[in-house]
Amino acid sequence: MLAGNGNGPESMSTATRLDRLRYALDGAGVDAIIVTVPANIRYLTGFSGSACVLIVTGSGSVACTDSRYAVQIEEELREAGLGGEVKVVVGNLKEQESAIVAAVRKAGALRVGLEAEHVSWAAKEKWAKSVAGAASAGGAGCDVVATTELVERLRRCKDRGELARLERAASIADEALLSTAGMLADGPTESEVALELETAMRRLGAEDRSFDTIVASGPNGAKPHARPSDRRISPGETVVIDFGATFDGYHSDMTRTLCPGGELHGQMAEVYKVVLEAQAAGLAAAGPGVAAKDVDEACRDVIKAAGYGDAFGHGTGHGVGLEVHEAPVVGPRSDDTLEEGHAVTVEPGIYLPGIGGVRIEDMVVVGPAGTRVVTGYTKEIWR
């Protein structure tokens, strides 16, 4: 159950995030940053619209959007406690660009950062030309430079309000699968199950699904990202269901492999047992101060020992938050270390072409002494 005033989830510490970013600017060697990634803008300001450019300098912030969001941006900034701190400019693209340039000039910024992993070459060239023109008016040169994950690093460790939203999204998904799983024994198509599951999540309070729902039965389960099809589900075969809900911008992610109307036999029964053991090993390995690659290794070692190492081709997990795939990465080549406040998935799988597949996934929150699983649907395969 969510903490708070009884009317909604616990509030987030949005108002402190701009200052944390300003502190990070010094370490990155820039005087200002132009933020264009919607999830980063939402994290910093609370604004959830799809069109916005935010500039953060050492002395202020300006958020630029168009007339569609004139009312919404003011409302959401106030709700985030930033109504008087972030200047809002509503106008066309040229007017927005002028406002950004004016902020650069006012701050006397000599190096302006762009989010390198999300900005196209054309956008970089445009901003470089605009900012250079602004700087020359002040008699000093100004460079546009690449920055990497300045905001994303802040987003890794979730505050209590963020965790409450993640847990609410997970509980919605749990309830939705509980209300939907019974239909599997009636022989529906994969697409029918996906539609019912997504409808149930909406009915339970989700604002959207986290990603395209995966329902993969029988041999389709060998494709980790299979799309729901018109294939009918048969008793006694595996059905991989990977899905999530979004609540107040925050995502959940869970996978269960079910066997409707029967019991698994032979190789697939063995595969399910191996994946379940591998996932348990990964969950046990996770915790604060643990290298993310060690969690991956814990899962992978179980699967390799059972002779299925080549059938597990993807990483073990990823961070979850305002985006369903974000840092940290839980994989064999990850350099990340798990910290308190991280929310990550643990999702090993085995995929056998022409036969089927099994994946079991939970979302966990890293605490001061261990982890807490927030996706609660049963892992009993018999349905």
What DSSP string describes 311-365? G--S-SEEE-SSSSSEEEEESTT---B--TT-EEEE--EEEETTTEEEE-BEEEE
CA distances from 124 to 29, 66, 121, 295 (A): 18, 21, 5, 38
pLDDT of residue 2: 38
What are the backbone dihedrals phi and psi of residue 190, each rounded to the nearest 5 degrees, phi first?
Answer: -60, -40
- How far apart are alpha carbons 346 and 361 in whole angstroms? 5
- Are 104 and 131 a contacting pair, CB within 8 Å? yes
- How far apart are alpha carbons 252 and 245 in whole angstroms? 5
CA distances from 92 to 31, 52, 245, 270 (A): 26, 11, 34, 60
pLDDT of residue 195: 98
Q: Per-domain residue ranges for the chain?
A: 14-155, 160-373
pLDDT of residue 1: 32
Structure tokens at 232: 């009918």
Taking the chain (383 residues) in runs of 10, the rounded mean pLDDT of each run is 48 90 94 97 97 95 98 96 94 95 92 93 89 59 89 96 97 97 95 98 98 98 97 95 98 96 87 97 98 98 98 98 97 97 98 97 96 94 61
The domain 160-373 is placed in CATH, from the list 3.40.47.10, 3.90.230.10, 2.60.40.1220, 3.40.50.620, at 3.90.230.10
Fold of 14-155: Creatine Amidinohydrolase; Chain A, domain 1 (3.40.350)
pLDDT of residue 134: 64
Q: Between the CA atoms of 16, 21, 27 and 28, what dihedral angle is there, to the nearest 10 degrees? A: 180
- How far apart are alpha carbons 190 and 342 in whole angstroms? 33
- Are 341 and 159 a contacting pair, CB within 8 Å? yes
pLDDT of residue 20: 95
